[in-house]
Chains A and B, each alone.
Chain A
Amino acid sequence: MCLIISFILLVLSVIISMSFIYPLPINDARTTRYRSLPWSTYLLISINAIVFLAWLGPDLYGSGDEPPNWPSYVNKISSYGYREDLITSLSGTETMGGIGALATFSSMFMHADIWHLFSNMIFLWTFGRRIEDACGHSRFLVFYIFAGMVANVGSVMLNPADRDIPGIGASGAIFGVMGAYLLLFPNGKIISLWGLGAIFRIPFAAVRMVGDSDVKLWRWAMPLPAWFLLLVYVAINIGPSLETIFWGDNTGGVDTLAHLTGFAAALTIFFFVRKDLLVRFLSGRTV
Chain B
Amino acid sequence: MDAQTLFRQGVLAIRDQKDVAQGRKLLQQSLRLDPKNDMAWLWLTRTVSDTETRLKYIDYALKVNPANEHALKLKQQLLQHAVPAAAPPVAAPAASPPQPQVASVPAVSQPEPVAAVQSDALTMASPMKPSERKQVMQLLEQAEVYREEDNIEAAIGEWVSVLGIRVDHDVAIRNATGHLWKMNYREDARELIHRAIDAGTAVPFIYMTAIDMAEREHDYEVADQLRETIPAMPNAPEELIINIVDQHMEAYKMDQALKALEAAVESHPDSQVLLVKLGDVYTELQRTTEAMSCYDRAVRLGSRSTFGKEADKRLASYVPVLTDQERGSILLAVREATGFGIAAFLLGIQDAGLDLPSMSGLHWMGIGLSLLGGYFLVTATSSPQQRPLAGLLGGKIPPPTEIDPDEKKEVENTFGEAMAEDSQIPILPMAARYFLGFVGLVMIIAALGLVLNQSLGLVMDYTQPPYPESLR
Contact = CB atoms under 8 A, between A and B. Distances in A.
A98 B465 contact: yes
A43 interface: no
Contacts, number: 171
Size bin of chain A's contact surface = 35 or more
A180 interface: no
B349 interface: yes
Contacts of B468: 78, 83, 85, 164-166
Contacts of A280: 320
B337 to A, nearest CB: 9
A145 B245 CA distance: 52
Interface in B412-453: 412-413, 415-418, 452
Contact of A90 (B338, B343, B351): B351
Mostly helix, strand, loop or mixed at chain A's interface? helix
A35 B355 CA distance: 43
A277 B320 contact: yes
A270 interface: yes
B118 interface: no
Interface stretch (B101-109, B171-179, B455-463): B455-463
Nearest to A99: B459
Contacts of A85: 468
Contacts of B456: 100, 102
Interface stretch (A8-16, A149-157, A189-197, A200-208): A149-157
Nearest to B461: A97
B209 interface: no
A95 interface: yes
A136 B382 contact: yes
B342 A146 contact: yes
A69 interface: no
A161 B191 CA distance: 92
A90 B466 CA distance: 15
Contact of B304 (A87, A101, A152, A284): A284
B464 A143 contact: no
A142 B312 contact: no
A233 to B, nearest CB: 24
A283 interface: yes
Given A74-B471, A143-B339, A88 B354 contact: yes
A100 B459 contact: yes
A96 interface: yes
Interface in B317-335: 317-323, 325-327, 329, 332, 335
B137 interface: no
The CB with the most chain B CB atoms within 10 A, among A98, A100, A104, is that of A100
A92 B454 CA distance: 11
Contact of A153 (B304, B313, B350): B350
Given A33-B320, A90-B455, A149-B347, A274 B339 contact: no
A6 interface: no
B343 A145 contact: yes
A101 B312 contact: no
A37 interface: yes
Nearest to A146: B343
A90 B335 CA distance: 31
Contact of A286 (B312, B322, B340): B312
A124 interface: no
Given A35-B416, A91-B353, A142-B340, A83 B329 contact: no
B467 to A, nearest CB: 5
Contacts of A92: 353
A182 interface: no
A272 B319 contact: no
B352 interface: yes
Interface string A96-136: 11111110100000000000000000000000000000001
B350 A101 contact: yes
Given A142-B343, A271-B339, A276 B465 contact: no
A17 interface: no
Contacts of B322: 275-276
B273 interface: no
A97 B335 contact: no
A285 B349 contact: no
B315 interface: yes
B455 A100 contact: yes
A271 B464 CA distance: 37
A90 B454 contact: yes
Contact of A97 (B342, B417, B458): B458
Contacts of A89: 353
A145 B342 CA distance: 12
Contacts of A156: 354
Contact of B417 (A34, A99, A153): A34
A235 interface: no
Given A34-B417, A77-B471, A85-B468, A91 B354 contact: yes
Given A90-B351, A153-B346, A156-B354, A33 B312 contact: no
The CB with the most chain A CB atoms within 10 A, among B336, B358, B464, is that of B336
Given A91-B355, A156-B354, A278-B335, A100 B454 contact: yes
A149 B332 CA distance: 24
A79 B462 CA distance: 10
Given A142-B340, A145-B343, A165-B470, A102 B455 contact: yes
Contacts of A36: 413, 415-416
**3 closest residue pairs by CB, A with B:** A36-B416, A91-B353, A100-B455
Interface of B: 299, 303-304, 312-313, 315-323, 325-327, 329, 332, 335-336, 338-340, 342-343, 346-347, 349-355, 358, 382-383, 412-413, 415-418, 452, 454-459, 462-471
Given A92-B353, A98-B458, A149-B346, 12 more contacts: A79-B465, A89-B353, A90-B352, A96-B465, A97-B462, A98-B464, A99-B458, A102-B452, A157-B354, A276-B322, A284-B304, A286-B316
12 contacts: A34-B416, A35-B412, A78-B465, A90-B351, A97-B462, A102-B456, A102-B459, A164-B468, A164-B469, A165-B468, A276-B320, A278-B332
Interface of A: 31, 33-37, 74-75, 77-79, 83, 85-92, 95-102, 104, 136, 139, 142-143, 145-146, 149-150, 152-153, 156-157, 164-166, 252, 268, 270-272, 274-280, 283-286
